[in-house]
Amino acid sequence: MTIPDVLDTAPPRLTPADAERVAADVFGVVGPARALVSERDQNFAVVGERGDGWVLKVANVAEDPGVIEMEVAAVARIAEVDPALPVPLPHPTLDGGPIGRVEIAGSGTHLVRLIALLPGRNARADELTDDNIHAIGTVVAGVGRALRGLFHPAAGRVILWDQQHLPRLFPRGSLVEPGQRRDLLDRVIARFSERVLPALPTLRSQLIHNDVTLDNLLVDAGGNVTGIIDFGDMAHTALVLDIPATLQSLLRERDDLFEVAATFLDGYTSVMPLEETEAQLLGDLLAGRMAQTILISAHRTRQYPDNEYIRGWSEPAWALLAQLEAISLDEAGRRLAAAARRPVRTRRAGGWAVDEELIERRRRVLGSALEPLTYQRPLHLVRGEGAWMFDTRGRGYLDAYNNVPVVGHSHPRVVEAIARQAATLNTNTRYLHENVVELAERLTASMPPGLDTVMFVNSGSEANDLAWRLSTAVTGGDTGLVTDWAYHGVTSAIAAFSPSEWPRGQQPASAETFAAPNTYRGAYAEADDPQRVARHEVSAALGRVEARGRSPAALYLDATFTADGIFLPAAPVVAAIAEGVRNAGALYVADEVQSGYGRTGDGLWGFSAWDVVPDIVTLGKPMGNGHPVAAVITRAEIVDRLASQTSFFSTFGGNPVACAAALAVLDVIEEEQLIDNAGAVGGWLRTAITDLAARHPVIGDVRGRGLMLGVELVTDPDSRQPAGDLAVRIKDEMRERGVLIGTTGRAGNTLKIRPPLSIRRDEAELIATTLDEVLSALES
Ligand code: PMP
């Protein structure tokens, strides 16, 4: 293996006495010299007569003089372009130039420089604050920017610390013992070949420092950078390669990898935004840097088995690689890319734009009726991708709560559909447009025969409100029936059908309730024939309606009984409820706002499980994956009844952009087979949590369909006393560990797990293991 590199030539071997002579004879600086550590040159600290500190740099005999000149030129350029960057300027030789030349007996002719010894010390990664890390990001980017316009012919030399030459090191992989580590290394190399190498020629390239590690940065007591040293690894290469070099050292022995990386990248990109390809390659470049370290170290360890400095390199590199591999190299790459893409945030003196201030502004301007922020420590989220959301510091949270982003946060297909239509035309349904008609056709095609007409609105509440108008127009009734802890929306009519939100003890005249089919406690759970309970519950409720001199117009049913506590009763039980209300002349409104769009893992619509065709279906939340769009789907003759009284028009309802979003959601659900995924991953997760119940007696019941799971907590399994406070603590502890869930049910003691349908099995495992950890911690 022939690799033209000074790494293969032994470093110079001067004694401190030689160094003192050189400093005096060449530079006129007289004082004691002390050897410093270096990979391939020799460095000495020299203290002059006035206490002035210098570093004598004695170059390796194999070093190209052009390279030394390039270093001198680079430092001079940085000082000129950005005087705030602390770089070591050279002491002139007695001849007035920056570089001297000395003959050392037994060693050869060496080029020598005497450069300023900058104040400060090397910091350890774990002592740096967020502000320090951010500042290091700006320093690295600042050095890159200052070097941008510098040309030097020596910059084209081949140096093994330049990742563009990593393939030259690939054969050294054979120096690593076969086994797990070798396999990991091989995977990193394969990814590098596949993803990085083809892109490298297209990346912004220039002269870069290439080694701004914590070994080459000096800091003061507050961790502020006081020196940038060692320009010995400079190369003309991809600008972005400065980042993995620094990150490798910042991430050493840190658990909070992605927070540190995000803080660093925030600093870096505040000076030098990254191009998209650069951002996407960061994960592989970081892994590549580790591979490079391991491969160089393996070879050098053979050459210099006694050099502890070299031997010390590779273990941290392996450790960091293992950390990246633990979450998968793909995921690591996604997170780094996300952090690098993040828009630059405003920073204020003293740190991040603090959340407390935003909380206070929110409180002042959004009023006291708005629901409080979720979690004891509220989240300030700025970005989402797949099943993950990220906070202002780049910390990722696995979203096991939100059902709106049904195909995953910010799904590119949906985003693109919205953007393209918004850039083309957005108007209303009084003009002819393909989108609204196509969407209506696709929705009716997905419904049982008879549900052939669609009316578009903007929210689940509006859909239920319109369903109410239709129901009253058709039946002449004036009362809605709902389960006793239901939620159906916010309009005046529908708030009345949301007992979970009723002011205590105040049942609106237009509403009547019956017990939700609770399969864990109460009449349904205890009865041999829960269908009879259903019939009884409904007829009692209808009796109360009649006793008040009113008549039923509609039954609203959420097929997953989400607010009631998430139940999965047997089909005949729900059929009995629906038929009972229908027989009294009311319509059955299937509220699919929660249970629709594949959530239940067995089809697009949750009501299908009951074998009763609803009169009206309402859709919302997931319909546009976050874009407001909702719909009512019913029979034409029902709409005709409303039409005989009035016409219907909603300004935004069914607009081309909303419909583009909704069409894209249907496409993605189909193409990514998300219903099957919800069934498979949801089934796995339910089993995994059920298994946890064996070790954690506070888990009283695990239930649900697909990716709508309820975990009911009790103080003990026999008394089944609801453990509402525990549920809140678990929810908060899960959040602290990066997994977001909610609570539901009248006593708030049921954990609500309801992730995007695109959630992967390994992500579901994270939900289960985190829940296990949290339960164990709270029990101990
Ligand atoms: N129905 C159900 C079952 C719901 O869960 C909700 C919202 N949580 C709504 C209707 C109302 O939807 P929106 O908030 O979009 O108006």
Distance 592 CA to ligand 1 centre (A): 9
For residue 359, the model assigns a pLDDT of 87
Mean pLDDT of 89-106: 91
Which residues have CB under 8 Å from 581's CB, separation 6+? 481, 538, 542, 552, 555, 588
Does residue 201 contact residue 164 with C-beta atoms inside 8 Å? no
For residue 108, the model assigns a pLDDT of 83
| Residue of 594, 597, 752 to mutate, ligand 1, most atoms within 8 A of C-beta | 594
Q: How far is CA 769 from the centre of its chain?
A: 19
pLDDT tens digits, 585-614: 999 999 999 999 999 999 999 999 999 999
39 falls in which pLDDT band (50, 70, 90)?
low
For residue 100, the model assigns a pLDDT of 95
For residue 355, the model assigns a pLDDT of 77
Q: Which atom of ligand 1 is nearest to the CA of 558?
A: 3
Cα separation, 147 vs 71, whole angstroms: 11
Alpha helices per DSSP H over 561-655: 571-583, 636-643
For residue 351, the model assigns a pLDDT of 38
For residue 346, the model assigns a pLDDT of 42
Q: Which atom of ligand 1 is nearest to the CA of 460?
A: 12
Out of 332-336, 403-407, 682-686, least confident range: 332-336
Cα separation, 601 vs 80, whole angstroms: 63
**591-628 in b/e burial notation, b at 16+ Cβ within 10 A?**
bbbbbbbbbbbbebbbbbbbebbbbbbbbbbbbbbbbb
Alpha-carbon torsion, ordered 288, 391, 622, 330, to 10 deg: 10
Distance 622 CA to ligand 1 centre (A): 10
pLDDT tens digits, 638-651: 999 999 999 999 99
Alpha-carbon torsion, ordered 312, 313, 316, 319, to 10 deg: -110
Asked if pLDDT for residue 1 goes beyond 50, the answer is: no
Asked if pLDDT for residue 304 goes beyond 60, the answer is: yes
pTM of the complete model = 0.66
Identify the residue whose C-alpha is closest to ligand 1 atom 7: 489
Mean pLDDT of 629-633: 98
Cα separation, 474 vs 469, whole angstroms: 9
Out of 242-251, 261-270, 419-428, 529-538, least confident range: 261-270
Asked if pLDDT for residue 7 goes beyond 80, the answer is: no
pLDDT tens digits, 343-358: 544 443 333 445 788 8
Q: Ligand 1: residues whose CB is within 6 Å?
A: 459-461, 464, 487-490, 558, 562, 591, 593-594, 620-621
For residue 3, the model assigns a pLDDT of 40
Distance 460 CA to ligand 1 centre (A): 5
Out of 52-66, 144-158, 642-656, 746-760, least confident range: 52-66
| Residue of 593, 599, 623, 652 to mutate, ligand 1, most atoms within 8 A of C-beta | 593
pLDDT tens digits, 356-388: 888 888 989 999 889 999 999 999 998 899 999
Distance 417 CA to ligand 1 centre (A): 24
Mean of the per-residue pLDDT values of the chain: 93
pLDDT tens digits, 444-482: 999 999 999 999 999 999 999 999 999 999 999 999 999
Alpha helices per DSSP H over 304-430: 308-311, 314-327, 329-341, 355-366, 412-424
pLDDT tens digits, 274-288: 998 999 999 999 999
Q: Which atom of ligand 1 is nearest to the CA of 595?
A: 3
Please report, rounded to a whole number, the percentage of residues in the chain having pLDDT higher than 70: 97
Cα separation, 219 vs 769, whole angstroms: 40
For residue 683, the model assigns a pLDDT of 98
Q: Which atom of ligand 1 is nearest to the CA of 621?
A: 15
User: 124 by DSSP, 3-state: which?
Assistant: coil
Distance 488 CA to ligand 1 centre (A): 5
Question: E strands within 458-602?
Answer: 479-483, 511-514, 552-558, 587-591
pLDDT tens digits, 520-549: 999 999 999 999 999 999 999 999 999 999
10 falls in which pLDDT band (50, 70, 90)?
low
Residue with tokens 């009113």: 550
Q: What are phi and psi of 760, to 5 degrees?
A: -90, 165
User: 456 by DSSP, 3-state: which?
Assistant: strand
**362-391 in b/e burial notation, b at 16+ Cβ within 10 A?**
eeeeeeeeeeeeeeeeebeeebbbbbbbbb
For residue 313, the model assigns a pLDDT of 79
566 falls in which pLDDT band (50, 70, 90)?
very high
Distance 305 CA to ligand 1 centre (A): 68
Cα separation, 278 vs 268, whole angstroms: 13
Structure tokens of 141?
């980017």
